[in-house]
Amino acid sequence: MTFLAQVELIKPPEIEYSAIAPVLIVLGAACVSVLFEAFLPKHQRWAAQVVLTMLTFIGAGTALGLYAGAETTTAQGITTLSGAVAVDRPVIFLWVTLLLLGFGSILLIADRSVEPGGAFVADAAVRPGTVQDRAQATRTGMQTEVFPLTLFALAGMMVFVAANDLLTMFIALEVLSLPLYLMCGLARRRRLLSQEAAVKYFLLGAFASAFFLYGLALLYGYAGSVKLADIATATAGSDKSDTLLFAGFGLLVVGLLFKASVGPFHAWTPDVYQGAPTPITAFMAACTKVAAFGGILRVLTVAFERTNWEWRGVLWGVAVASMVIGAVLGLTQTDVKRMVAYSSVAHAGFLLIGSISLTEQGLSGTLFYLLAYGFTTIAVFGVISLVRNADGEATHLSQWAGLAKRSPVLAGVFTFLLLALAGIPLTSGFVGKFVVFAAAIQDGLAPLVVVALVASAVAAFFYLRVIVLMYFSEPAPDGPTVTVPGAFTTIAITVGAAVTLVLGVWPSFALDWAGAGGFIF
Amino acid sequence: MTPTYYLLLSALLFSLGAVGVLVRRNAIVVFMCVELMLNAVNLTLVTFSRMHGELDGQVMGFFVMVVAAAEVVVGLTIIMSIFRTRRSASVDDSNLLKY
Amino acid sequence: MLAPASGATDAVAASGLASLAWLLLALPAFGAAVLLLAGKRADKWGHLLGCATIIAAFAYGLALFFTTLGQGAEERTSELHLFDWIPVGALDVEFGLRLDPLSLTFVLLITGVGSLIHIYSIGYMAHEEGRRKFFAYLNLFVSAMLLLVLGNGFVTLYFGWEGVGLASYLLIGWYQYKPEAASAAKKAFLMNRVGDLGLAIAIFIMFKELGTTTYTDVFARVDELSSGSILAITLLLLLGACGKSGQFPLQAWLPDAMAGPTPVSALIHAATMVTAGVYLIARSNPIYNLSADGRLVVMIIGGVTLLIGCIIGCAYDDFKKVLAYSTVSQIGYMILAVGLGPVGYALGIMHLLTHGFFKAGLFLGAGSVMHGMNDEGNIRRMGGLAKYMPVTFATWALGYLALIGIPPFSGFFSKDAIIAAAFGEPGWRGYVFGGVALLGAALTAFYMTRLLILVFLGKPRWKELKTSEDGREYHPHESPWSMKIPMIVLAVGSVGAGFFLENGERLAGWLEPTLGPLQETHGALDHTMVAILSVALSLVGVALAFLLFGRKPQPTTRPLRVSFPVRAARADLYGNALNEALFARPGTWLSRALVFVDNKGVDGLVNGTAALLGGSSGRLRRLQTGFVRSYALSMLLGAICVLGALLMVRFS
């Protein structure tokens, strides 16, 4: 032991366990969930996984509630793990949002009533199109690996929005992306499309990660550190090479914009949204968007606020491109999932407007928008999963003709959700757009807001087209049927639509909450 | 020796990887090109680490390798499964989702 | 010669009985609301409720009047603040009432004549299906008209102004199944819009220049305005008055408005609403006092209108339309009077009151005749009706004598005073306006006598025709008591009101706190001379009419081969043609051009944009080739663009 005595005592970094408990709970549950997959017999897995996942959300939510509620001395937030992770007001808002939306997605994922056995393949190893594949399509089992994958992805998202240095952010990015690549390929039906979506998402995602990483490396070269705070300090009047700074910033932002599916880095979005199993699409569309914009907000605000004069114009152009691409290309889509994908590209443009108006209003507006958009999106995909024919989901728009006559309730809910996406008053979409645009105008982005309003008007057309199609067309004789959903999907759709309404009528509490404080670094 | 050469080399490798992603058809090769890009980044990190006279960049290089390894696992799984389905690893064959 | 702006005397807060003045508005409004909301359940008693609310308002108005009469002149103006109406930034419009001699005079006129006409309507509308709704509209009208005269600012006045416009529109179009009633209602509404626009712009100017729209503040500070602004305001207010009061060039809607039921014509289009323009100018006297040019324009409009009305009145064969043009012409007198300024405001109001009595009486008489003659309006199909309708004839004849200005009937006092005051104007103006007014008096006597002869005297031409045009046989009969009593009351007014108001300058003294003291003028002709001249000219007119129409039997259809003046008069002196050429046709052309631009340009633009978006969308979506490598290319290109742009911004 003399050997040990000679060693200088080291001081481990302080860890604020109560603050990061929600992430730890989700990650730990993900590991337990993997063990379930390894050791439980197949027929018990679904029930066990569902129970575990529910408990995880309850536990993480409780931990988060306790921390946020008990917070007194650290009211505006802390950094922990040697400053690698920050837990401040926006992060708590984003964590709550992610947990709520993740819970909604899990409900859709776990549902086995809409599609007998669930939306996921029973045995992913079986080749599509073979006899075994047709047999497994009718089996009631599913690859319950989707649960641990979801939990890992969710944990990655939670770390991503809290990451206070670029390396942590990169790791979190991979932790959230890798499970999603796999989940995209797990659809029970149309497996060719599903696998194709997985390949495309994976290759493009890896490509984008490389950009992010190269940006990280250049910024490391510029600032000598990858901590956001250090980069911010370095940008304050140093004699270092601005080429490194802006090349690094550009590459980093490209990686982030890819995840947020902002045009022109959106190319994967329609294909993957269409090919992936609908519950996974809901998860991606809601949670990934939240995580990506959470990261963008933090990076832009914390690290690059001082240089905003140089980059703001560029992101201005990106936002315009995204809104125009989303709105114009959405016009001629014939598949409802692809249409929602283009709508999400347009929404990404709107969100980017809020993100580049670097004010408190911009921050709180964007956070509110994310919450509102996430709930609406989950409900939208929940509804889409209900319209089915013998081949599975009937996503072609022509099959939606006259749906209001078959199922007035479903058509009514979907109409309401589409109006929310279009930003009609009394829906959360209107309030979200309003606060974001108001913040942008205050910060001198009025021309951008004009473009955004025009894009909203164009985009409203394709939402209304679906409404017209549902209400004013004759239903086709061999059209799809509307499945009566089980409890899980019903809850997800109901809650999504209800939140859309509540945030549209009484948004003040959520707005206050979103505006409770800024980033800590 | 000026570190600029190392940085230029890594930039060249990164560009080669990017071009490779664009021009190669085989999914495995495309994926290897992505790995090439990641390793180009590693070279950059190590160079800057030396320039700054600290080890942070080199440690980050290890992180990147770990992530790359994980990515290989996931990537090869996906490519394997689609290869079994289509009997082809060409990324141009996966062309059902479009417009 | 300008009097101090005595209309701006400080108002005291209303107290005592006056603090209940909101009842004046609330009672008729309550009646209207009940009648409209209760639906068919109110059919049995609705008309009684309608009458009761107006009579109650009249009783309250009388009480208020006598209370005020007991106060000193400086205490007679009071304001009653009700609530803040439009508190928006710098614009703070309060909803308040102004009780002063002028508004009280109007309250008595409106509720008094209104009560009589409500009672008359019980009988007149007895056979109509929607009588309840009719009374609701009448109540609505009375409420709005009271708001118009009681409001303490121009915005409140404007509110009432639009309210009476609405009620008038609803009532003109009462017989909505008749195309001419519908188009008359539309015409009235549209032509009133032109005038309302002027009033609105005048209010905007006041607010812009003075930041306030209440009478007290505007009149107190009106001398801060530049003379240009004052002239603009006076002319724009005049435009408003022209629209509402049927003055040249906006007179054409008033005769058409006779398509409504006769009580409506009597109340709205003779006694009250159409005099709102006179009220407006008299109320704004502190503004008009400051602009001699503005008043000259007012006088010109008044003079032109009174002649136009007389001339056209000579040629018409429709009972009510003749009376309508007579109204146009008499309001021309009033406008002329208020245009004279401090020498004329009180005279205009006095003529307005006497006219309210005798014209309402004449209209009710006309209604009574038509009621007894199968709703026949063509005077050529009448004749000799005096025998069959003695009460109607007697009351009508008294109104007739009042109108043509035979002493001692009321019209003589009020009209002669105006003519004399017009002669009092200096220089050429005295001769021109005095002469016009005298000529008008002669023409009035002529066309009214023609009316009298064709309707009540001469051969009963209807006997030859036997049936009216709709096939029913003529059985002329006297009207029920509910119609006769109002006619009798109004006839009493026609006889005595003029002398009563004129005697000892009773009215002028009463109105002094609002309009300033009535000034005397001595012009080219003295008063006695004017009186003699006007009576003489009227008698000439009467004689001429007897010579032309009384001696030989008249044809039952109007002669077509007539001289140019008659043709011109029958064509409304080409007023409609003028309006058509000046406003309607360019309007039509403009709207056609706009339709063309809309079809080809705007729609083209919209459709073109849609097609462009759809087309580009259809092409652009082909870029989504489905090949992952092309997606990677698009990302790389995007990244290069972002990088290039960033570096360019930094290093350029």
Three-state DSSP class for residue C378: strand
If you average pLDDT over residues A298-304, what whole number do you get?
Answer: 94
Q: What is the domain range of residue C599? A: 585-621
Given its phi and psi angles, is residue A252 left (phi above 0), alpha (psi -120 to 50 degrees) or beta?
Answer: alpha
Q: Looking at the predicted structure, is the pLDDT value of residue C583 above 70?
A: no
* For testing contact with chain B, the best of A132, A201, A213, A338 (most B CBs within 10 A): A213
ipTM above 0.95, yes or no: yes
Q: How far is CA A273 from the centre of its chain?
A: 12
Other Cβ atoms within 10 Å of A454 Cβ, number: 13
Determine contact, residues C203/C213, Cβ cutoff 8 Å.
Answer: yes
Three-state DSSP class for residue C151: strand
Question: What tens digit of pLDDT does each residue of A430-482 get?
Answer: 999 999 999 999 998 899 999 999 999 999 998 999 999 999 888 878 888 88
Distance CA C560, CA C566 (A): 10
Distances (CA, A) of C514 to C107, C216, C644: 15, 11, 78
Determine contact, residues C380/C459, Cβ cutoff 8 Å.
Answer: no
Distances (CA, A) of A28 to A24, A48, A55, C378, C590: 6, 15, 12, 101, 76
Q: Which of C43, C113, C38 shows the shortest CA–CA distance to C494?
A: C113
Q: What pLDDT was estimated at residue C642?
A: 93
- Which has more confidence, A349 or C518? A349
Interface contact flag, A253 C638, Cβ < 8 Å: no
Same domain? For C504 and C597 the reply is no
Q: Is B37 on the interface with C (CB under 8 A)?
A: no
Cα within 13 Å of Cα(C279), Cβ side = 30
| Nearest-5° Cα angle at C117, C111 to C123 | 145
Q: pLDDT band at residue C1, thresholds of 50, 70 and 90? A: very low
Q: What pLDDT was estimated at residue A151?
A: 96
Distances (CA, A) of C492 to A374, C120, C385: 81, 16, 22
Distance CA A369, CA A93 (A): 12
Q: Looking at the predicted structure, is the pLDDT value of residue B1 above 80?
A: no
Select from A258, A328, A330 the Cβ nearest to the Cβ of C635.
A258
Distances (CA, A) of C112 to A376, C56, C133, C267: 65, 10, 21, 10
Pairing of strands C78-88, C12-13: parallel
Q: Which of A367-371, C306-310, C525-529 has the lowest mean pLDDT?
A: C525-529
Q: Looking at the predicted structure, is the pLDDT value of residue C9 above 60?
A: no
Q: Looking at the predicted structure, is the pLDDT value of residue C353 above 70?
A: yes
Distance CA A254, CA A204 (A): 12
Taken as a whole, chain B contains a residue count of: 99
Distance CA C351, CA C105 (A): 13
If residue A136 lies in a helix (H) or strand (E), which one and from where to where?
helix A131-138
Tokens of C8: 């701006």
Three-state DSSP class for residue A297: helix
Shortest Cα–Cα distance, A428 to chain C (Å): 27
Question: What tens digit of pLDDT does each residue of C288-309 get?
Answer: 888 888 888 999 999 988 888 8
Q: Is C632 on the interface with A (CB under 8 A)?
A: yes
Q: How far is CA A241 from the centre of its chain?
A: 35
| Tokens 């790359």 sit on residue | B68
Q: Looking at the predicted structure, is the pLDDT value of residue A181 above 80?
A: yes
Other Cβ atoms within 10 Å of C65 Cβ, number: 17
- Which has more confidence, A366 or C494? A366
- Chains contacting B (3+ CB pairs below 8 angstroms): A, C
Residue B30 included in any domain:
yes
Q: Which of C32, C93, C110 shows the shortest CA–CA distance to C276?
A: C110
Other Cβ atoms within 10 Å of B49 Cβ, number: 21
Distances (CA, A) of C368 to B66, C270, C375, C487: 107, 16, 9, 9
Residue C186 included in any domain:
no
Other Cβ atoms within 10 Å of C465 Cβ, number: 15
Same domain? For C632 and C522 the reply is no
Q: pLDDT band at residue A298, thresholds of 50, 70 and 90? A: very high
Q: What pLDDT was estimated at residue C564?
A: 66
Q: What pLDDT was estimated at residue C87?
A: 64
Pairing of strands A85-88, A392-393: unpaired
A170 contacts in chain B (CB < 8 Å): 63-64, 67
Q: What pLDDT was estimated at residue C3?
A: 39
Query: Please, which residues have CB within 8 angstroms of residue C518's CB and are 6 or more apart in sequence?
Result: C342, C343, C345, C346, C347, C505, C508, C512
Domain count, chain B: 1
Interface contact flag, B91 C628, Cβ < 8 Å: yes
Tokens of A442: 């205050």
Distance CA C423, CA C429 (A): 8
Residue B79 included in any domain:
yes
Distance CA B54, CA C1 (A): 100
The amino acid that residue C208 corresponds to is K
A226 contacts in chain B (CB < 8 Å): 56, 60
Interface contact flag, A203 B34, Cβ < 8 Å: yes
Shortest Cα–Cα distance, A240 to chain B (Å): 13
Q: What pLDDT was estimated at residue A56?
A: 96
Interface contact flag, C627 B96, Cβ < 8 Å: no
Domain count, chain C: 3
**Residue in chain B lying closest to A197 (CA):** B97
Residue B66 included in any domain:
yes
Q: What pLDDT was estimated at residue A57?
A: 96
Interface contact flag, B54 A171, Cβ < 8 Å: no
- Which has more confidence, C228 or C521? C228
Residue C463 included in any domain:
yes
Interface contact flag, C629 B21, Cβ < 8 Å: yes
Determine contact, residues A264/C635, Cβ cutoff 8 Å.
Answer: yes
Shortest Cα–Cα distance, A426 to chain C (Å): 26
Q: How far apart are the two ends of chain C, measured CA to CA in Å?
A: 76
Crossing angle between the packed helical segments C390-404 and C527-545, to the nearest 10 degrees: 130
Select from C613, C628, C634 the Cβ nearest to the Cβ of A331.
C613
* For testing contact with chain B, the best of A82, A186, A214, A332 (most B CBs within 10 A): A214
Q: What pLDDT was estimated at residue C8?
A: 41
Q: Which of A361-365, A470-474, C186-190 has the lowest mean pLDDT?
A: C186-190
Shortest Cα–Cα distance, A193 to chain B (Å): 7
Q: What pLDDT was estimated at residue A138?
A: 76
Determine contact, residues C351/C337, Cβ cutoff 8 Å.
Answer: yes
Question: What tens digit of pLDDT does each residue of C452-491 get?
Answer: 888 888 777 777 777 767 777 777 888 888 888 888 888 8
B98 contacts in chain C (CB < 8 Å): 624-627
Question: What tens digit of pLDDT does each residue of A252-261 get?
Answer: 999 999 999 9
Other Cβ atoms within 10 Å of C541 Cβ, number: 24
Determine contact, residues C294/C277, Cβ cutoff 8 Å.
Answer: no
Interface contact flag, B97 A127, Cβ < 8 Å: no
Q: Is B82 on the interface with C (CB under 8 A)?
A: no
Interface of A with B (CB under 8 A): 124-125, 127-129, 167, 170-171, 174, 178, 181-182, 185, 191-193, 195-200, 202-203, 206-207, 209-210, 213-214, 216-218, 220-221, 224-226, 270-271, 274-275
Question: What tens digit of pLDDT does each residue of A206-238 get?
Answer: 999 999 999 999 999 999 999 999 999 998 876
Same domain? For C377 and C295 the reply is yes
Interface contact flag, A207 B54, Cβ < 8 Å: no
Query: Please, which residues have CB within 8 angstroms of residue C175's CB and are 6 or more apart in sequence?
Result: C181, C259, C260, C261
Chain B residues 40-59 with CB within 8 Å of chain A: 40-41, 44-45, 47-48, 51-52, 54, 56-57
Instruction: Using a pLDDT cut of 90, give the percent of chain A over it.
Output: 68
Residue B75 included in any domain:
yes
Q: Looking at the predicted structure, is the pLDDT value of residue A296 above 50?
A: yes
Query: Please, which residues have CB within 8 angstroms of residue A183's CB and are 6 or more apart in sequence?
Result: A146, A149, A150, A153, A276, A277, A280, A283
Q: What pLDDT was estimated at residue A4?
A: 63
* For testing contact with chain C, the best of A193, A207, A212, A258 (most C CBs within 10 A): A207
Same domain? For C413 and C337 the reply is yes
Taken as a whole, chain A contains a residue count of: 521
Tokens of C161: 């102004």
Q: What pLDDT was estimated at residue A41?
A: 92
Shortest Cα–Cα distance, B56 to chain C (Å): 26
Residue C74 included in any domain:
no
**Residue in chain C lying closest to B92 (CA):** C627
Question: What tens digit of pLDDT does each residue of C58-75 get?
Answer: 998 888 888 888 777 777
Q: pLDDT band at residue C560, thresholds of 50, 70 and 90? A: low
Shortest Cα–Cα distance, C607 to chain A (Å): 13
Q: Looking at the predicted structure, is the pLDDT value of residue C23 above 90?
A: no
Q: Looking at the predicted structure, is the pLDDT value of residue B45 above 90?
A: yes
Single pTM value for the model: 0.64
Q: Looking at the predicted structure, is the pLDDT value of residue A366 above 70?
A: yes
Q: How many helices (H) and strands (E) does chain B have?
A: 3, 0
Distances (CA, A) of A108 to A80, A114, C146, C164, C468: 34, 9, 67, 63, 82
Query: Please, which residues have CB within 8 angstroms of residue A288's CB and are 6 or more apart in sequence?
Result: A157, A176, A180, A259, A260, A261
DSSP string computed for A468-481 = HHHHHSPPPTT--E
Q: pLDDT band at residue C524, thresholds of 50, 70 and 90? A: low
Same domain? For C539 and C598 the reply is no
A310 contacts in chain C (CB < 8 Å): 646, 649-650
